[in-house]
C-alpha cells in the first residue's frame, strides 16, 4: 500500500487542500508538503496526527484498502448489468449529489 497515495485520496475526498490537511492535523505546512513532494513514508507520529484529522484510527487507515477494492469491483459489475435506462437514472442521481 502506498501510504502517501492513501493520505492524498482521503484528503481529496474531503476537498481539503494540503494546507487544510496540515491545519487539521496540527502539522506544519512544510511537513505535509514534504510528505507529498518527496513521496516518503510519514513518521508514525505524523501518520497518527493525519488519521486523527480524518477522524479515523491507524487500524482503520490500513484495513479499508481491500474493502474499497471489493466495493469498487461489485459496483462495476452491478453497473454493467443495468439496462441503459437504469444506467442513465443512476448517472443522473450521482450527478445530483
pLDDT in tens, the chain (97 residues): 689 999 999 999 999 999 999 999 999 999 999 998 988 889 999 999 999 999 998 988 988 666 555 677 778 888 888 899 988 999 899 898 8
* Distance of alpha carbon 57 from alpha carbon 11, whole angstroms: 15
Sketch the domain layout of the chain as residue ranges. Answer: 1-56, 64-97
pTM attached to this predicted model: 0.65
Closest of 59, 45, 70, 61 to residue 11, by C-alpha:
61
**Residue range 1-56 in CATH 3.40.50.2300:** no
Amino acid at each position: 500500500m502506498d501510504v502517501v497515495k492513501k493520505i492524498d485520496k482521503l484528503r481529496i475526498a474531503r476537498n481539503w487542500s494540503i494546507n487544510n490537511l496540515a491545519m487539521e492535523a496540527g502539522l506544519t505546512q512544510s511537513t505535509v508538503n514534504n510528505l507529498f513532494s518527496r513521496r516518503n513514508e510519514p513518521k508514525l507520529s505524523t501518520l497518527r496526527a493525519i488519521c486523527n484529522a480524518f477522524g479515523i484510527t491507524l487500524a482503520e487507515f490500513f484495513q479499508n484498502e481491500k474493502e474499497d477494492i471489493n466495493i469498487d469491483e461489485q459496483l462495476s459489475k452491478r453497473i454493467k448489468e443495468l439496462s441503459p435506462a437504469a444506467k442513465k437514472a443512476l448517472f443522473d442521481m450521482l450527478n445530483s449529489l
